[in-house]
Amino acid sequence: MTTTVSPGHCARFRALTHDTHDVLDKRIMAYSPFSGRERYAAFLKVQYCFHRDVAALFDNTSLNTLLPGLKERGRFAAVAQDLKDLGQALPEPEMPPVFGEQIDLPTAIGWLYVEEGSNLGGAILFKMAGKLDLSADFGARHLAPHPEGRAPSWRAFMQQLDAIELDDKEQQRANNGAEAAFTQVLSYVERYCPIS
Protein backbone atom coordinates (compact mmCIF):
# COMPACT_ATOMS: atom_id res chain seq x y z
CA MET A 1 0.00 0.00 0.00
CA THR A 2 1.10 3.54 -0.71
CA THR A 3 -0.37 6.89 0.27
CA THR A 4 -1.11 8.30 -3.17
CA VAL A 5 -4.53 9.87 -3.62
CA SER A 6 -7.32 7.39 -4.37
CA PRO A 7 -10.53 9.02 -3.10
CA GLY A 8 -13.72 7.21 -2.36
CA HIS A 9 -13.08 4.65 0.39
CA CYS A 10 -15.36 6.34 2.91
CA ALA A 11 -18.19 6.83 0.43
CA ARG A 12 -17.81 3.20 -0.63
CA PHE A 13 -17.86 1.95 2.96
CA ARG A 14 -20.92 4.07 3.71
CA ALA A 15 -22.83 2.68 0.73
CA LEU A 16 -21.81 -0.94 1.33
CA THR A 17 -22.65 -0.93 5.05
CA HIS A 18 -25.79 1.22 4.92
CA ASP A 19 -28.24 -1.60 5.61
CA THR A 20 -26.21 -3.21 8.41
CA HIS A 21 -25.57 0.18 9.98
CA ASP A 22 -29.28 0.99 9.87
CA VAL A 23 -30.20 -2.31 11.54
CA LEU A 24 -27.62 -1.66 14.25
CA ASP A 25 -28.80 1.89 14.95
CA LYS A 26 -32.44 0.80 15.20
CA ARG A 27 -31.55 -2.12 17.46
CA ILE A 28 -29.56 0.07 19.83
CA MET A 29 -32.31 2.67 20.06
CA ALA A 30 -34.94 -0.05 20.58
CA TYR A 31 -33.09 -0.91 23.80
CA SER A 32 -33.37 2.72 25.01
CA PRO A 33 -29.83 2.79 26.41
CA PHE A 34 -30.28 6.30 27.80
CA SER A 35 -33.48 5.63 29.72
CA GLY A 36 -31.47 5.02 32.88
CA ARG A 37 -27.96 4.35 34.12
CA GLU A 38 -28.48 0.60 34.30
CA ARG A 39 -29.31 0.42 30.60
CA TYR A 40 -26.53 2.85 29.78
CA ALA A 41 -24.08 0.56 31.64
CA ALA A 42 -25.17 -2.31 29.39
CA PHE A 43 -24.51 -0.10 26.36
CA LEU A 44 -21.07 0.67 27.78
CA LYS A 45 -20.30 -3.04 27.84
CA VAL A 46 -21.03 -3.17 24.12
CA GLN A 47 -18.69 -0.23 23.60
CA TYR A 48 -16.01 -1.81 25.78
CA CYS A 49 -16.01 -5.05 23.77
CA PHE A 50 -15.88 -3.25 20.43
CA HIS A 51 -13.11 -0.86 21.47
CA ARG A 52 -11.20 -3.79 22.96
CA ASP A 53 -11.40 -5.47 19.55
CA VAL A 54 -9.75 -2.52 17.80
CA ALA A 55 -7.44 -1.24 20.57
CA ALA A 56 -4.32 -2.75 18.99
CA LEU A 57 -4.87 -0.75 15.79
CA PHE A 58 -4.13 2.55 17.52
CA ASP A 59 -0.64 1.40 18.50
CA ASN A 60 0.21 -0.10 15.12
CA THR A 61 3.20 1.67 13.57
CA SER A 62 2.15 1.10 9.96
CA LEU A 63 -1.37 2.40 10.57
CA ASN A 64 -0.03 5.44 12.39
CA THR A 65 2.18 6.16 9.38
CA LEU A 66 -0.80 5.93 7.03
CA LEU A 67 -3.11 7.79 9.43
CA PRO A 68 -1.07 10.35 11.40
CA GLY A 69 -2.52 11.05 14.84
CA LEU A 70 -4.32 7.71 14.98
CA LYS A 71 -2.79 6.80 18.34
CA GLU A 72 -4.49 9.79 19.99
CA ARG A 73 -7.91 8.74 18.66
CA GLY A 74 -8.20 5.50 20.64
CA ARG A 75 -11.05 5.40 23.18
CA PHE A 76 -10.65 2.01 24.83
CA ALA A 77 -9.20 3.41 28.07
CA ALA A 78 -12.00 6.00 28.21
CA VAL A 79 -14.71 3.34 27.89
CA ALA A 80 -13.07 1.27 30.62
CA GLN A 81 -12.99 4.30 32.91
CA ASP A 82 -16.64 5.08 32.12
CA LEU A 83 -17.59 1.60 33.31
CA LYS A 84 -15.52 2.03 36.47
CA ASP A 85 -17.19 5.41 37.11
CA LEU A 86 -20.53 3.60 37.21
CA GLY A 87 -19.24 0.87 39.50
CA GLN A 88 -19.37 -1.75 36.75
CA ALA A 89 -17.00 -4.67 36.40
CA LEU A 90 -15.25 -4.84 33.05
CA PRO A 91 -16.88 -7.53 30.90
CA GLU A 92 -14.91 -10.60 30.01
CA PRO A 93 -15.56 -11.13 26.29
CA GLU A 94 -15.89 -14.74 25.18
CA MET A 95 -13.47 -14.28 22.28
CA PRO A 96 -9.99 -12.69 22.06
CA PRO A 97 -9.81 -9.22 20.49
CA VAL A 98 -10.30 -9.17 16.73
CA PHE A 99 -6.89 -7.56 16.25
CA GLY A 100 -3.77 -8.72 18.01
CA GLU A 101 -0.14 -8.58 16.91
CA GLN A 102 -0.87 -9.69 13.34
CA ILE A 103 -2.88 -6.98 11.60
CA ASP A 104 -4.07 -7.03 7.99
CA LEU A 105 -3.97 -3.32 7.15
CA PRO A 106 -6.81 -3.22 4.60
CA THR A 107 -9.13 -5.08 6.98
CA ALA A 108 -8.09 -2.73 9.77
CA ILE A 109 -8.95 0.29 7.62
CA GLY A 110 -12.53 -0.94 7.31
CA TRP A 111 -12.82 -1.42 11.06
CA LEU A 112 -11.32 2.01 11.75
CA TYR A 113 -13.89 3.62 9.46
CA VAL A 114 -16.63 2.18 11.68
CA GLU A 115 -14.85 3.07 14.92
CA GLU A 116 -14.18 6.68 13.96
CA GLY A 117 -17.63 7.07 12.42
CA SER A 118 -19.15 6.08 15.75
CA ASN A 119 -17.40 9.07 17.32
CA LEU A 120 -19.02 11.39 14.80
CA GLY A 121 -22.40 9.90 15.61
CA GLY A 122 -21.65 10.20 19.31
CA ALA A 123 -22.75 13.85 19.43
CA ILE A 124 -26.40 12.94 19.99
CA LEU A 125 -25.47 10.16 22.42
CA PHE A 126 -23.30 12.55 24.41
CA LYS A 127 -26.25 14.93 24.84
CA MET A 128 -28.48 12.04 25.91
CA ALA A 129 -25.85 10.92 28.43
CA GLY A 130 -25.91 14.42 29.88
CA LYS A 131 -29.52 13.83 30.92
CA LEU A 132 -28.22 11.01 33.11
CA ASP A 133 -25.74 13.44 34.73
CA LEU A 134 -22.86 11.88 32.80
CA SER A 135 -20.13 13.95 31.22
CA ALA A 136 -16.67 14.01 29.68
CA ASP A 137 -15.36 13.80 33.25
CA PHE A 138 -17.65 11.05 34.52
CA GLY A 139 -19.26 8.11 32.78
CA ALA A 140 -19.32 9.48 29.23
CA ARG A 141 -15.66 10.12 28.49
CA HIS A 142 -15.68 7.94 25.39
CA LEU A 143 -18.55 9.97 23.89
CA ALA A 144 -16.83 13.33 24.37
CA PRO A 145 -15.89 15.18 21.17
CA HIS A 146 -12.37 15.23 19.78
CA PRO A 147 -10.47 18.38 20.88
CA GLU A 148 -10.64 19.65 17.28
CA GLY A 149 -14.40 19.11 17.20
CA ARG A 150 -16.30 16.13 15.83
CA ALA A 151 -16.85 17.29 12.27
CA PRO A 152 -13.33 18.65 11.65
CA SER A 153 -11.81 15.53 13.21
CA TRP A 154 -13.98 13.25 11.04
CA ARG A 155 -13.23 15.20 7.86
CA ALA A 156 -9.49 15.02 8.57
CA PHE A 157 -9.73 11.28 9.18
CA MET A 158 -11.74 10.71 5.98
CA GLN A 159 -9.14 12.61 3.96
CA GLN A 160 -6.40 10.41 5.39
CA LEU A 161 -8.40 7.25 4.74
CA ASP A 162 -9.30 8.24 1.20
CA ALA A 163 -5.63 8.96 0.44
CA ILE A 164 -4.65 5.33 1.00
CA GLU A 165 -4.29 3.42 -2.25
CA LEU A 166 -5.65 -0.11 -2.25
CA ASP A 167 -5.61 -2.65 -5.04
CA ASP A 168 -8.80 -4.58 -5.82
CA LYS A 169 -8.10 -7.42 -3.38
CA GLU A 170 -7.12 -5.01 -0.60
CA GLN A 171 -10.23 -2.95 -1.27
CA GLN A 172 -12.38 -6.05 -0.88
CA ARG A 173 -10.72 -6.88 2.44
CA ALA A 174 -11.31 -3.30 3.61
CA ASN A 175 -14.98 -3.51 2.55
CA ASN A 176 -15.32 -6.82 4.39
CA GLY A 177 -13.69 -5.26 7.45
CA ALA A 178 -16.21 -2.43 7.62
CA GLU A 179 -19.14 -4.83 7.28
CA ALA A 180 -17.63 -7.20 9.85
CA ALA A 181 -17.21 -4.35 12.34
CA PHE A 182 -20.89 -3.42 12.21
CA THR A 183 -21.89 -7.08 12.46
CA GLN A 184 -19.61 -7.55 15.47
CA VAL A 185 -21.11 -4.57 17.29
CA LEU A 186 -24.60 -5.92 16.59
CA SER A 187 -23.60 -9.25 18.15
CA TYR A 188 -22.48 -7.40 21.29
CA VAL A 189 -25.75 -5.47 21.40
CA GLU A 190 -27.68 -8.74 21.23
CA ARG A 191 -25.57 -10.11 24.08
CA TYR A 192 -25.56 -7.17 26.48
CA CYS A 193 -28.74 -5.29 25.56
CA PRO A 194 -31.48 -7.93 25.28
CA ILE A 195 -34.99 -6.82 24.50
CA SER A 196 -37.58 -8.74 26.48
pTM comes to 0.92
The terminus-to-terminus CA distance of the chain in angstroms comes to: 47
Residue 6 has what pLDDT?
43
Residue (of 182, 181, 161) closest to 171 by Cα position? 161
State the architecture of 9-192 in CATH terms.
Answer: Up-down Bundle (1.20)
Distance CA 69, CA 96 (A): 26
Residue 149 has what pLDDT?
84
Residue 60 has what pLDDT?
95
Q: Which residues of the chain have pLDDT under 50?
A: 1-7
Residue 50 has what pLDDT?
96
> Beta partners for 135?
138, 139
Residue 164 has what pLDDT?
93
Residue 160 has what pLDDT?
94
